[in-house]
Structure 1
């Protein structure tokens, strides 16, 4: 009996092969977001930079429920906001935010944002997460707060300011709005969103019954190197990927 090596990231023989892998992972991330309740109406989007056209990104069609998205449903958008592949419209807020995040961070392949319940609840406090659990240490000194809510994002300038607030971090809390995470892979980006949402939940629950004890700076910093690395983020997503593909194999189509 052989055991699958979950620590080995895939390599590709061609751009087309890499693109198909990326689109399937993106569809899987949407299915998982739906399964975890990170969907609300038409709000939310995950984008992935195309491996061939670096100034283009794949994104969910506007108005399609996360639970129904297949790899073939994804649309390709350029940085002018034009749909260059696919016949569905793009969410203008997705373009305004994600185009600027991708432009500001050439190291980023994927970016995720949704109106998840605990993320948007925590965002109303205008605070960063504290290192109160091992999982939360993934974000220790590696997330920020964008503290200027001005309504639904349609303005590229606000997208630029969100990108600036994100800086070199893996995540930014958009005050009165929700969470945004990024990663070098779709897998990593999706995992950061999942675990950040749960970390928001954990801190809300802890503060509802008392004052949480913070992990001291030395141990929080050390822990962040283990649970907060890009490789760790990718690795943590793999069992979830296996789960969702087994349950909903049509997402690969």
Structure 2
């Protein structure tokens, strides 16, 4: 039987603001696992730490998402260097994607990336995400695409990734997966939940061998304002406390 990885607590060693970000980010990793969107130890969620350094937190490479804790998260700079040399190493592919976005998008406090089967399947479809469901409309009002260039390890891909994302908060990485950004961990998670659900619905609808009814284009154009009404202007923060309560019931420990 494998022993649990011993991670010394960082609570009290970092600012209260950073600690709260660590707790929310660790919760997001465990929620990704709980919903079945993880890919073993691969893919990433990052959150930027406020300040001019543009440093951010990311997962330790080698830990499963359902065992990540606030103290195990790794703080790195824009060059991928660990601020604490005793921390775990990080996945260089995750650094490339996330550092590119954090470098140019001050509003993208959190960047979430997944390799779900439904997400990768839609990313491989020529027409991408289709307006087939109410869930699809929210991403479609704010969606970008980035063509596949191989495993994201090359420095020169950053500029193209930044240009393709622009000011959007949803991105489909062709032949690769899904990406969302948000002003908070809660916002990025809600965005991913909606985008993932839209992809699952699309794959199931296309498998039904029946003619489909797309949502009229005019409705897509009005959906962003309606999204604000649905969440009472709170975005992901409306659902986040409930998600944490659920996580506390099924997989507590992320606050360690």
TM-score, normalized by length of structure 2?
0.86
Where 2:99 maps in the other structure, the secondary structure is helix
- Work out which of the residue numbers 228, 249, 256 in structure 2 matches 1:246: 249
Distance in 2 of aligned mates of 1:232 and 1:134? 17
Where 1:31 maps in the other structure, the secondary structure is helix
Is the counterpart of residue 237 in structure 1 residue 240 in structure 2?
Answer: yes
In the alignment, is the contact (CA less than 8 A) between 2:21 and 2:47 conserved in 1?
yes
Question: How many residue pairs end up in the alignment?
Answer: 238
Is the counterpart of residue 159 in structure 1 residue 162 in structure 2?
Answer: no
Where 1:249 maps in the other structure, the secondary structure is coil
Taking structure 1 as reference, are residues 54 and 195 closer, same or farther at Cα in structure 2, changes over 3 Å only? farther
In the alignment, is the contact (CA less than 8 A) between 1:140 and 1:224 conserved in 2?
no
User: How far did 1:53 drift?
Assistant: 5.2
Where 1:121 maps in the other structure, the secondary structure is helix
Question: What is the match of residue 146 of structure 1?
Answer: 146
In the alignment, is the contact (CA less than 8 A) between 2:45 and 2:110 conserved in 1?
yes
Is the counterpart of residue 95 in structure 1 residue 95 in structure 2?
Answer: yes
Segments of 5+ residues of structure 1 without an aligned counterpart are: 1-14
Taking structure 1 as reference, are residues 237 and 133 closer, same or farther at Cα in structure 2, changes over 3 Å only? farther
**1:25-174 correspondence runs (5 A):** 25-52=24-51, 54-85=53-84, 86-147=86-147, 149-174=148-173
User: How far did 1:66 drift?
Assistant: 0.1
Is the counterpart of residue 224 in structure 1 residue 227 in structure 2?
Answer: no
User: How far did 1:17 drift?
Assistant: 2.2
Where 1:73 maps in the other structure, the secondary structure is coil
Structure with the higher helix share, 1 or 2? 1
Where 2:200 maps in the other structure, the secondary structure is helix
Summarize deviations over 1:93-125 as a string: whole Å, max 9, x none: 011111001112111100011211110111111
Distance in 1 of aligned mates of 2:204 and 2:115? 19
Where 1:152 maps in the other structure, the secondary structure is coil
Where 1:182 maps in the other structure, the secondary structure is strand
The answer to which of 195-204 and 234-243 deviates more is 234-243
Instruction: Give the aligned CA root-mean-square deviation in angstroms.
Output: 1.9
Distance in 1 of aligned mates of 2:87 and 2:114? 23
Summarize deviations over 1:56-110 as a string: whole Å, max 9, x none: 0000001110000000100000001101035110110011111001112111100
The answer to which of 222-231 and 79-88 deviates more is 222-231
Summarize deviations over 1:99-157 as a string: whole Å, max 9, x none: 0011121111000112111101111114332232222221123001112x121110122
User: How far did 1:161 drift?
Assistant: 1.3
Structure 1 outlier segments of 4+, above 4 Å:
none
Taking structure 1 as reference, are residues 145 and 35 closer, same or farther at Cα in structure 2, changes over 3 Å only? same
In the alignment, is the contact (CA less than 8 A) between 1:108 and 1:183 conserved in 2?
yes
Summarize deviations over 1:187-220 as a string: whole Å, max 9, x none: 1111211221111010111122233322223323
